[in-house]
Structure 1
Amino acid sequence: MRSERKEEVQGQVLRTAAADKEIRLHAQAEGAARLPESVLYDVLGIGIGPFNLGLAALLQKTPRIQSLFVDQKTRFDWHAGMLIEGTTLQVPFFADLVTMADPTNPLSFLNYLHEQGRHYAFYFLEKFHIPRREYNEYCRWAAGKLPSCQFGMEARDVRLDSSGSESVFEVDVYDTASGETRTYRTRNLALGVGSVPSVGERFRTHLGESVFHSADFMNKLEQCRRAKSVTVIGSGQSAGEIFLRLLQEQEACGYRLDWFTRSAGFFPMEYSKLGLEHFSPDYTNYFYQLPQAVKDEIREGQALLYKGISAATIADIYDALYEASVGGKELAVRLLASTEVRNIKPVSGEKSEQVRLTCRHLIQDEHFTHDSDVVIFATGYTHTIPRCLGSLQDLIRWDSAGRYEVGGDYKLALKEELANSIYIQNGELHTHGVGAPDLGLGAHRNSVIINSLAGETVYPVRERNVFQQFGIR
């Protein structure tokens, strides 16, 4: 009996080991083999979105700078819930990970096309704006070539250790494949955790299968198709793309479609050539020098530089509405601007899964209710302080609004004089202006960061890049 029991236990151990091995192999297939904890890294990046991925790519030119980048996702995924077929980047393909700083870098988008055997296909496509899905594939391709990028690794705590000859950050990282927690030591940090979906506090308790943020749209598309009514809330690019996709499928699915926004209308983004120069290092430098109160006031009036809908998407929506109305057909569609959603609650009744929106028309100051099976909040994204920074809260300087104080070189201001730095990626909208989330400025910001890390000019940063002048000096 003991022998049988022993064999059974041994069998369980072997099966568990085999399962663990399979998990580890799966994790390694998604990323690179785990980097050692014994190394003192020069920079550790938390989060692997396009900006920290670009930093990892550009750091290949400086192998003496030891780097590690971690992300809790098992592989690179860029806004997976909004990878709608037919949508494109809103910036030219030059805004890849490296080209604006290093056009000859092997991790450029053009080299990706070459390796994929797609360069002639792209040549004949004759478009500057590439499919969003292909941009995601390109980034996955680049991440697969960077051993410094470790997926399935969640940064859970960061501490400053000043007990040795030099102070270092200790980063506890949970390995989702092995279930182990690893502790890495680094001189500097690069925060690239990105933004999170923004939904009004009063609506968050209603989020679920039928009420969700646009970030989940592709995951919930079948839910929309089965619904009798769908409502989109918001007036930015995501709202426009979702409305267009649902409009294109409306006849086949038979749902009613409503689109509400607080904005005064469904307006296009500013996309003139001189307007685009606001997404340049020149404007960033000008904006950074302004007093914070002036910056906040300016940003209030710049919404259409980055929050509107592309003119092409608006045209496609109008064309689809026109086509659907041929023959005088009455459309089960409503577009209503200047409309604020005040409240949401489930509709009481027999077996109803609808929710009731209480709305107010801001101009007419009239209230009305609207019932819908599905509600999609295309209400943008917001930046939050990563939980893993909890131990550093007292080290970081915060402004009066509870935001990071950020230096011109993208370093967070600290309360102590340290040789260590914390660099911020796309968390400096309030200090550096509208270009912070723009892919076209990612390589510029990474050039500044790398030059700072190296203590020398690795990537030249030009002072004059556009035709217009911002400010007197």
Structure 2
Amino acid sequence: MYDVIAIGCGPFNLGLAALADGVDDVRLAVLDSRPEFTWHRGLMFDDAMLQVSFLADLVSLVEPAHHLSFLSYLKDNDRLYQFYVREKFHPTRREYEAYLRWCAAQLESLHFGHHVRSAEWNGSAFELTVERGDAVEHFEARHLVVGVGTEPFVPAALAGLPVDRFLHSADYLFRRDDLLRAGRVTVVGSGQSGAECALDLLRAAGPAVSWLTRTPSFAPLDYSKLVLEMTTPSYVDYFHALGEPVRDRLVKEQWRHYKGISSETLDDIHDVLYTRDLTAELLCGVAVVSAVARADGLELTMLHADSEKTFQHTTDAVVAATGYRNRPLPFMESLQDKLDHDAAGRWVINRDHSVRGELDGRVFVANADLHSHGVAAPDLGIGAVRNAGILNSVTGREVFRLPKSTAYTTFAIPG
């Protein structure tokens, strides 16, 4: 019998295991179907930077002296002075993954190669049926944390393209050599992933590059200081208390806080175009209506938003930087009628990240609460606080002291 079983081992549930390490009265296991911990390998460009500070590690914003902090990783790998002299708060994405793998190697609570097939409530605990190779094992837990992450999303307009000439940006580096041999490559989508793929193709100076997006511009992330306060617990408190229609409207309006492009990447793209005098096609305000494979390439029918006219775009390969969506949860099927859902069919999630329902045991979520907790939900900087709150709720005591004041901005009506 475990106190908590976390399903899925991305950075958030890895952080839960890190914080729980050393909490004697919490027996925790993390189950993941993959053979080992990896993180965004298909987009691990050598110079790609993390978009948040090193303080957004697994533990520091709750326990900065924790033995699994990023600074502890640097010290253990004799890189502390090099990081200090570098004078940059943002690690590379590659180094951040190395830090996560360093943490994973020290945690005995992680169990890879464990695929959760089903979860049921027996009246006093959750019973999990788990496949481990050819064997089937059974686990019990008083509480669950669902953190299976997201999966690549491909819109219907692109879904029918042949796989040898089409890929999602999540697989970009695995298919890069094929793309460089193509005559024309089109990147669809203008988040950070789309920008990094377009930049890499431009730097390679191989195929002709087109970069298309339905957003009105190639918009930068809004990372100004006071806007960043919307990723703090103070804003989460405010957002969670709002009505469902208001929350849904705000999430749509605030896309630039988590779906935009870093200003540095945009500058790099312009510099490459200018210094190498490259001819590339950059189109914004256009959406893919349909796509078919022809003998001479892929033909995309595009809709221009401002003129409301369509036009044809021909290319040899398409990279869909079209984002991610929450993974389906077939193992939770038997529990769904015991959990509350909102008008859109999403789980109703309490402030402590537990799903409202009729079960005595609680189901918590990690990074599946954008609709209830706002733009901070996918931000690495909220992970430690969310996990500390989950552990406080599970134990019924203040294992970790949570920050009380996290923003200068007042979001609610004063008083």
TM-score range (shorter-chain normalised) is: over 0.9
Partners of 1:394 and 1:305 in 2: CA distance: 34
| Cα pair 1:231 1:258 within 8 Å, conserved | yes
The reply to whether residue 195 of structure 1 matches residue 150 of structure 2 is yes
* Identical pairs, percent: 39
Partners of 1:345 and 1:207 in 2: CA distance: 9
Cα distance, 1:266–1:119 mapped onto 2, change above 3 Å:
same
| Range with bigger deviation, 358-367 or 240-249 | 358-367
Q: Secondary structure at the match of 1:209?
A: helix
Q: CA shift at 1:462, angstroms?
A: 2.2
| Cα pair 1:75 1:151 within 8 Å, conserved | yes
Partners of 2:390 and 2:164 in 1: CA distance: 41
Cα deviation code 1:262-286 (max 9, x no counterpart): 0111111111100111000000000
Q: Which amino acid aligns with 2:237?
A: N
Q: Which amino acid aligns with 1:450?
A: L
Q: Which amino acid aligns with 1:461?
A: L
Report the count of equivalent residues.
414
Structure 1 portions without partners, runs of 5+: 1-39, 326-330
The reply to whether residue 171 of structure 1 matches residue 133 of structure 2 is no
Q: Which amino acid aligns with 2:47?
A: G
| Cα pair 2:368 2:377 within 8 Å, conserved | yes
The reply to whether residue 85 of structure 1 matches residue 85 of structure 2 is no
| Cα pair 2:185 2:315 within 8 Å, conserved | yes
State the partner residue of 1:471.
412
Q: Which amino acid aligns with 1:137?
A: A
Cα deviation code 1:214-265 (max 9, x no counterpart): 1111111111111111000011111111111111001xx2x11000000111
Cα deviation code 1:27-53 (max 9, x no counterpart): xxxxxxxxxxxxx00000000000000
Q: CA shift at 1:437, angstroms?
A: 0.3
Q: Secondary structure at the match of 1:393?
A: helix
For residue 235 of structure 1, the aligned residue among 180, 184, 190 is 190
The reply to whether residue 316 of structure 1 matches residue 268 of structure 2 is yes
State the partner residue of 1:449.
390
Partners of 1:346 and 1:232 in 2: CA distance: 16
The reply to whether residue 218 of structure 1 matches residue 173 of structure 2 is yes
State the partner residue of 2:111.
150
| Cα pair 2:32 2:111 within 8 Å, conserved | yes
For residue 307 of structure 1, the aligned residue among 259, 280, 285 is 259
Structure 2 portions without partners, runs of 5+: none
| Cα pair 1:405 1:413 within 8 Å, conserved | yes
State the partner residue of 1:204.
159
State the partner residue of 1:275.
227
State the partner residue of 1:428.
369
The reply to whether residue 375 of structure 1 matches residue 318 of structure 2 is yes
State the partner residue of 1:265.
217
Q: Secondary structure at the match of 1:135?
A: helix
State the partner residue of 2:247.
295
Q: Secondary structure at the match of 2:338?
A: coil
The reply to whether residue 247 of structure 1 matches residue 202 of structure 2 is yes
| Cα pair 2:148 2:327 within 8 Å, conserved | no
State the partner residue of 1:10.
none
| Range with bigger deviation, 203-212 or 433-442 | 203-212
State the partner residue of 2:286.
339
- Radius of gyration: which is bigger? 1
Q: Secondary structure at the match of 1:278?
A: helix
Partners of 2:22 and 2:28 in 1: CA distance: 12
Q: CA shift at 1:210, angstroms?
A: 1.7
Q: CA shift at 1:365, angstroms?
A: 2.0
Q: CA shift at 1:207, angstroms?
A: 5.6
Partners of 1:439 and 1:373 in 2: CA distance: 36
Q: Which has the higher contact order (CA 8 A, sep 6+)?
A: 2
Q: Which amino acid aligns with 2:181?
A: R
Q: CA shift at 1:332, angstroms?
A: 3.5
Cα deviation code 1:182-235 (max 9, x no counterpart): 110111000111111111124223262321111111111111111111000011
Cα deviation code 1:399-453 (max 9, x no counterpart): 1101111011110111x2x330000000010011000000000001011101001
